[in-house]
Amino acid sequence: MWVRSTLAYRTSFALMTFGNFAASGLDFVAIWLMFSRVHALGGFALPEVAFLYGTCSLALGLADLLVGSLDRLGARIRDGTLDVLLLRPAPVYAQIAADRFALRRLGRTSQGLLVLLWSIGHLDVAWTAGRILMVPLMAVCGTAIFGAVYTAGAAFQFWAQDAAELQNSLTYGGNALLQYPPTVFARDLVRGVTFVIPLAFVNWLPALWVLGRPYPLHLPGWTAFLGPAVAALMVAGAALAWRHGVRAYRSTGS
């Protein structure tokens, strides 16, 4: 229904999709402008940074497409319309995820995919079957990890109704972080996104394996393949937080 309603305003839909495409593209323009002044950033060449950029943009874009509407939960709690959803005979999670489902979010996804394809064409990598398979696996696991962050952020809003922006620092902030090679950042920051909130498994560790680069923090070789396990753990944790949040929910009353 939301898809049809947005497609009804064709000009607006086209403009917004283009806007989404261009908005997420600005990050890449920044990287490209940087590379007009230097040949390497943190020891990585442009196609390698583009590979990191493409893989995390694609993962975030897909997660945003699927469950990005969850950040409206705080607004729904504040104005009391969440109660309506709770009364309907369908899972609340699915209803909110589908709420104002915005096809225009395809902008970020397609832009990430384009950069990824460009980088794959320019990378100096011996493409074995394992390396080729790792790319779609990264997209799936990355989507699950970002999706778990969206869900946990939404669950947190059952307690702090006004803090939708908090999850932005993890999703969009994480995205901005993962676009650059880990060698750019301080070790403590890399430790944080590896062990505390394991965003590093979205693309850093598997991508460094594909690129044949050393891992940060002297991690052992097999950590690059932990993506599915980490994604499963995070999804389970987010699901638990969500259930807890729905149970704890007390309507605003009146």
Residues interacting with another protein, by CB under 8 A? 9, 11-12, 15-16, 19, 22-23, 26-27, 29-30, 33-34, 36-42, 160-166, 168-169, 173, 176-177, 180, 183-186, 189
Residue from 45, 24, 187 nearest 113 by CA: 24
- In the complex with another protein, the residue whose CB is nearer, 147 or 153, is 153
CB of 12 to another protein, least distance (A): 5
Minimum CB separation from another protein for residue 249, in Å?
17
Nearer to another protein, 9 or 195 (CB): 9
CB 17 within 8 A of CB 104: yes
Q: How far is the CB of 153 from another protein (least distance, A)?
A: 10
Min. distance of Cβ 126 from another protein in angstroms? Answer: 27
User: Please, what is the minimum distance in Å from the beta carbon of residue 94 to another protein?
Assistant: 26
Give which of 79, 42, 37 is closest to 208, Cα–Cα: 42
| Angstrom distance (rounded) from CA 33 to CA 239 | 40
Distance CA 131, CA 188 (A): 29
**22/217 with CB nearer another protein:** 22
Nearer to another protein, 134 or 158 (CB): 158
Helices 46-67 and 164-178: angle between axes, nearest 10 degrees: 150
Per-residue CA distances from 35 to 115, 133, 212 (Å): 15, 29, 22
Q: Calculate the dihedral angle through the C-alpha atoms of 201, 205, 210, 212, rounding to the nearest 10 degrees.
A: 180
Phi and psi dihedrals of 91, rounded to 5? -55, 135
Closest approach, Cβ 69 to another protein, in A, equals 17
User: CB-wise, 26 or 117, nearer to another protein?
Assistant: 26
Q: How far is the CB of 88 from another protein (least distance, A)?
A: 28
Strand partners, 41: 44
Q: Closer to another protein at the Cβ: 10 or 218?
A: 10
Q: Of 65 and 190, which has the nearer Cβ to another protein?
A: 190
Residues 6 or more apart in contact with residue 254 via CB below 8 angstroms: 80
Where helices occur in 68-186 by DSSP H, the ranges are 73-79, 82-87, 92-98, 106-122, 129-156, 164-178
